[in-house]
């Protein structure tokens, strides 16, 4: 819900101690570099400090399922906290000069024990992520591209901002990113955004999306599908 993604973890964490802790722990990656790979041993959690990170799963045939694209202030590899010993996705840097702060799991637990608010936030993020991913996967199978894109935008809106009526939602996604996330091609995303603009729904820009007239998703009169 609201504040979850809004909260920058840097703000939640105790400024002094963690800043000091982090100082020497940053790692740099250039575009395409793997931060971790499927089946790697998972004993760390990561915080994006700069750049973009893609979490994806690859099938036998080489097609990829993009689970998330993250940016500054966002956490990943967090399922290690829940005791998951092995990574079940690949994390790659999407942009040059991506900077990551790795946190050893034990240190993470210490921080969580000391700071209840922090701990709570972490768990909320984990739960929220899972929920969102499930929903996205479900839509991927049952809904057409237009609906999926609208749903994606909808997520952006209630993550970042409040109500409707002419808001600029800042974002960091290229059309290619979005296409990957909703399982389509960037050409299709481009075309849809132009349609949306014609229909007076929204305007896509590289740094923000201007929402002109949002119907909070005409939610699904269709059959009630099985939970995933």
Binding site for DNA (CB under 7 A): 144-146, 174-176, 183-188, 190-191, 193-194, 206
Q: Give whichever of 49 and 184 is closer to DNA, judged by the CB atom.
A: 184
Residue 140 DSSP class: H
Nearer to DNA, 70 or 111 (CB): 70
With respect to DNA, which residue has the nearer C-beta, 35 or 94?
Answer: 94
Contact 46, 101 (CB under 8 A): yes
Min dist CB 190 to DNA, Å, is 3
| DSSP label of 187 | H
Taking the complex as a whole, the smallest distance from the CB of residue 58 to DNA amounts, in Å, to: 16
In the bound state with DNA, the residue whose beta carbon lies nearer, of 97 and 134, is 97
The helices-and-strands tally (H runs, E runs) of the chain is 8, 11
Q: Smallest gap, in angstroms, from Cβ of residue 49 to DNA?
A: 17
Nearest distance from residue 155's CB to DNA, in Å?
A: 18
The minimum distance between CB 59 and DNA, in angstroms, equals 14
Q: List beta partners, residue 46.
A: 76, 102
In the bound state with DNA, the residue whose beta carbon lies nearer, of 54 and 129, is 54
Query: Do the Cβ atoms of 5 and 68 come closer than 8 Å?
Result: no
């Amino acid at each position: 819900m609201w504040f979850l993604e809004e909260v920058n973890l840097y703000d939640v964490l105790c400024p002094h101690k963690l800043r000091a802790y982090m100082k020497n722990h940053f790692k740099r990656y250039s575009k395409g570099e793997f931060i971790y790979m499927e089946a790697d041993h998972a004993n760390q959690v990561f915080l994006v400090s700069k750049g973009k990170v893609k979490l994806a799963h690859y099938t036998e045939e080489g097609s990829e399922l993009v689970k998330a694209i993250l940016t500054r202030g966002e956490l990943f590899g967090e399922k290690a906290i829940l005791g998951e010993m092995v990574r079940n996705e690949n994390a790659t840097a999407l942009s040059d000069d991506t900077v990551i702060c790795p946190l050893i799991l034990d240190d993470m637990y210490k921080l969580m024990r000391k700071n209840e608010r922090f701990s709570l936030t972490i768990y909320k993020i984990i739960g929220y992520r899972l929920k969102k991913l499930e929903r996205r996967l479900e839509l991927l199978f049952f809904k057409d591209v237009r609906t999926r894109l609208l749903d994606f935008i909808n997520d952006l809106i209630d993550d970042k901002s409040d109500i409707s009526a002419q808001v600029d939602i800042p974002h960091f996604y290229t059309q290619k990113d979005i296409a990957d996330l909703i399982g389509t091609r960037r050409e299709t995303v481009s075309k849809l955004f132009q349609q949306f603009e014609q229909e007076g729904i929204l305007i896509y820009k590289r740094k923000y999306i201007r929402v002109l007239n949002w119907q909070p998703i005409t939610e699904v009169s269709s059959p009630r599908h099985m939970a995933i």
